[in-house]
Chain A
Amino acid sequence: MKNQSLIDYTLHLADNALIIGHRNSEWCGHGPILEQDIAISNIALDLIGQARNLYQYAAELKGDHATEDSLAYLRDGWDFKNLLITELPNGDWAQTILRQFFFSTYQYFLYQQLQHSKDERLAAIAAKALKEVTYHLRWSSEWVIRLGDGTDESKQRMEKAVEELYAFTGEMFLPTDYEKELATNGISVGPESLKEKWTDKVRSVFEEATLASPFKENNSAWMQSGGKEGKHTEHLGFVLAEMQFLQRAYPGAEW
C-alpha cells in the first residue's frame, strides 16, 4: 500500500530544495561580484542535487511511471508543497541573502534531526545534505552580518528585506497533516520542534549584524502560510512557467 503521507512529505522537502535552488540559479551571471556569483550558483547546485535525491525517492514511492523529471517538470502549482518563502522573487542581494539565511537555518536544524529518521532513505539524504547546508548557513550568516553591520545603504536594504520576508517564516514551523502523521512514527521531524533553535540562531546573527530583532514578545506577528498544502503566491506560477517550459513544449526532450 502506498504511504501517501510519506510521498507528500518527501515531495514537500524536494519542492523546497528545487524552488529555492531555481530562484538562486537566477543569480548565475548576475551576482554582485564573481566570487559571490559562484557561491550562490554553488548553493543552487547543492539544493537542486538534494531535490533530485528526494524526487527519485518520491518517484519510487509513487510508482505509476513517475520519475524525478516528471515530478519536477510535469506537476502544476497546486501540486507543489514548497514553503512560500522559497518561491518569492529574489529582490535585491540583501533579500536573497536573508531568505537563504532564514531557509538554511531551518534546513540545518531540520536535517540535523531528519538524519535520525526511521526512514533510512530520508535519513541518508539528510545526512549527506547536512554537510553542504552547514556551508550555506555559514556563508549566509556572514553576509547577513556584513550587510547589516555594513554601510547605511546595506543596512537599510537588509532592514527592508526583514520587513519583506519575516511574515513568511512562520510557515516553517506549522505542521501539516502529513508531517503530524509521520512524526508519530519517527519518520518526519515535527517542525514546531525546530522553532526555538531557529529563533536563537536568527537572534544571535541579527545581534551581531546590529539588526533589530523581528520577534514580537508574545509571538503575535501575523504569518503567511499555505505553501506546504499547495496554496501558493502568484510567484510560483512564473517560476514553473520558466522552469517547465521545455518539457511542456517538447515532452520527453533530452539533451
Chain B
Amino acid sequence: MNSTIHISEQKEQVEKQVWEILGEVTDPEVPVLTVLDLGIVREVKINGNALHGWSLEIVITPTYTGCPAMDMISMNIRFALLQEGFTNIKITQTLSPVWTTDWMSESGKKKLKVYGIAPPHYSQAVCTPDAFQQEEAIQCPRCDSFNTRLVSQFGSTACKALYQCVDCKEPFDYFKCH
C-alpha cells in the first residue's frame, strides 16, 4: 500500500519535471515560442519506476499538415529529455482533435507580439472559402495601429500571413487563425 502511494508520488514528480523540460523546448521557426506556448503537446504518458527507469510517451500534434518543423520539434524534445537523463522516450503524433490557434497560451501571444509577429485572434470568423472577404482588423505589432492591410494569405511559414501597417509602413507576419 505504502509503496504504491510512493510510486504514484514519484510519478507525479517525474511528470512535473517532464512538463518543465517541455516548457524549455522552442519552435525552430518561431524561437520565442515553446512547444507548450504553441499548445502542440497534447499528452504526457509516464510508465515504469525509479528503480528500472521511467518510460515516457509524448504526444504532439502538428499546427499545419505539412509543417516541416515537426520532425525537428520531435528531435528537440527527445534531446531535451535525454539531457535530463530520460532514455526511454517515445514521441508520437496525433491529428485529432485538430490543432487550433485557440490553444496558444496567453504568454505565448504576448511573446509573439514583442517578437514582431501579430498573434492570432480568438474568434475565427473569416476562416471560410469565400473570396475577397472583409478581414478582421489585425493590429500592427510595432505601432499598435489597426490600420493594416493583408499583403498575402501565405507568409514565410505555413502558419503565417503577410501584412503591412499602413501607418508605420512596417511589413509584418500575422499568425493566422486556424
Where the two chains meet, the residues of A that have a C-beta atom closer than 8 Å to any C-beta of B are 35-36, 38-39, 42-43, 45-50, 52-53, 108, 120, 123-125, 127-129, 131-132, 134-135, 137-139, 141-142, 145, 205, 208
Contacts and interface: CB of A to CB of B under 8 A. Distances in A.
B131 A131 contact: no
A215 B23 CA distance: 56
A172 to B, nearest CB: 17
A49 B67 contact: yes
- Among A123, A135, A205, the most chain B Cβ lie within 10 Å of the Cβ of A135
Nearest to A34: B152
Contact of B154 (A123, A127, A137, A139): A139
Nearest to A104: B129
B65 A46 contact: yes
B64 to A, nearest CB: 6
Given A124-B95, A145-B132, 16 more contacts: A35-B162, A38-B154, A39-B153, A42-B154, A42-B155, A48-B66, A53-B95, A124-B94, A124-B98, A128-B62, A128-B65, A131-B98, A131-B127, A135-B154, A138-B131, A139-B154
A56 to B, nearest CB: 9
A42 B66 CA distance: 9
The 7 closest A-B pairs by CB, nearest first: A49-B66, A49-B65, A124-B96, A39-B154, A137-B129, A35-B152, A42-B154
Interface in B135-178: 151-156, 158, 162, 178
B64 A145 contact: no
A38 B162 CA distance: 10
Contact of A53 (B65, B68, B131, B162): B65
Contacts of B153: 39, 135, 138-139
A45 B155 CA distance: 12
Nearest to B127: A134
Contacts of A50: 65-66
Nearest to B155: A38
13 contacts: A35-B154, A42-B155, A46-B158, A49-B66, A127-B95, A127-B96, A128-B96, A128-B99, A129-B65, A131-B98, A131-B127, A138-B133, A142-B132
B156 A108 contact: no
Nearest to B68: A45
Interface residues of B, number: 27
Given A48-B66, A124-B96, A145-B131, A131 B154 contact: no
B128 interface: yes
B131 A42 contact: no
Interface in B101-146: 127-133
A138 B154 contact: no
A105 to B, nearest CB: 8
Given A47-B66, A132-B64, A39 B152 contact: yes
B64 A49 contact: yes
Contact of A141 (B131, B152, B154, B158): B131
A137 B154 CA distance: 13
Contacts of A43: 154
A38 B152 CA distance: 9
B38 to A, nearest CB: 16
A142 B65 contact: no
Contacts of B152: 35-36, 38-39
